[in-house]
Amino acid sequence: MSIIPRREIEEILEIMIREPSLRSVFVEGKFDKDLLERHFEINDIATSTSVYCIDTVEIPNDLVSSLKLPLESNKYRVIALANQISLSEEKSPGRAVCIVDADCDRVLENISSYPTLLYTDFTSMEMYCLGNSELAGIFKFSMNMEVEHAEKFLDFAHSILPAIFCIRCIVEELSLKIPSGFPDLSVGFIKAS
């Protein structure tokens, strides 16, 4: 089985210059790619815009480190690519953009600023799928539940999600290195004997 080599940054920059009709969007992962491709398809943008997961691009660790970004995340690789595209943006403006999840970055004032970098309006790309009508459709068609259950779920989510988001921001700010970004619920409890 052959492995398809990742695209080099130089190749992406060259395509931007030589193919003015092509537009490229680079995102963190497959869900983001699928969601944007669906959006482009619905809005008849798909023919001129391609969406790529960052794992299809060779982003050297040295580049990520030179920008003082952690190596462990696709998000930071997308930001590093945005940096490189921004440096050559005057040769081919508007031909490529990089999109990352906002996560806690706005609250922690951790926003990277490059002309070719966009942050999601919400904490993550998944949040664009959780509007009232989308959630009602999931409850009705996928879970065979009444729409009222979606409304109850949203009421519950509105009461608990802000607290979970605050905990996630605290974990990130304090660099607690909790893999899921959320402490185990049993932490701090002692088992009764």
Residue range 98-136, pLDDT digits in tens: 999 999 999 999 999 999 999 999 888 988 877 778 888
| C-alpha separations of 16 from 5, 54, 69, 76, 186 in Å | 19, 17, 25, 22, 51
Whether the model clears a pTM of 0.85, i.e. scores above it, the answer is no
Question: Regarding the domain delimited by 7-129, which CATH topology (the fold level of the hierarchy) does it fall under?
Answer: Rossmann fold (3.40.50)
- Going by C-alpha positions, the residue among 172, 166, 164 that lies closest to residue 72 is 172
Sequence ranges of the domains in the chain: 7-129, 130-178
Those residues with Cβ within 8 angstroms of residue 97's Cβ, 6 or more apart along the chain or in another chain = 23, 24, 25, 26, 82, 116, 117, 118
Amino acid found at 76: Y
> What local confidence, expressed as pLDDT, does residue 177 receive?
75
pLDDT tens column, 58-107: 999 999 999 999 998 999 999 999 999 999 867 667 789 999 999 999 99
Element of type H or E holding 39: helix 30-42
Q: In the chain, what is the greatest distance between 2 CA atoms, to the nearest angstrom? A: 71
Give the span between the Cα atoms of 173 and 168, in whole angstroms: 9
CB 32 within 8 Å of CB 54: no
pLDDT tens column, 132-170: 788 888 888 888 888 888 888 888 888 888 888 898 898
- Going by C-alpha positions, the residue among 107, 103, 109, 78 that lies closest to residue 12 is 78
CB 140 within 8 Å of CB 147: yes
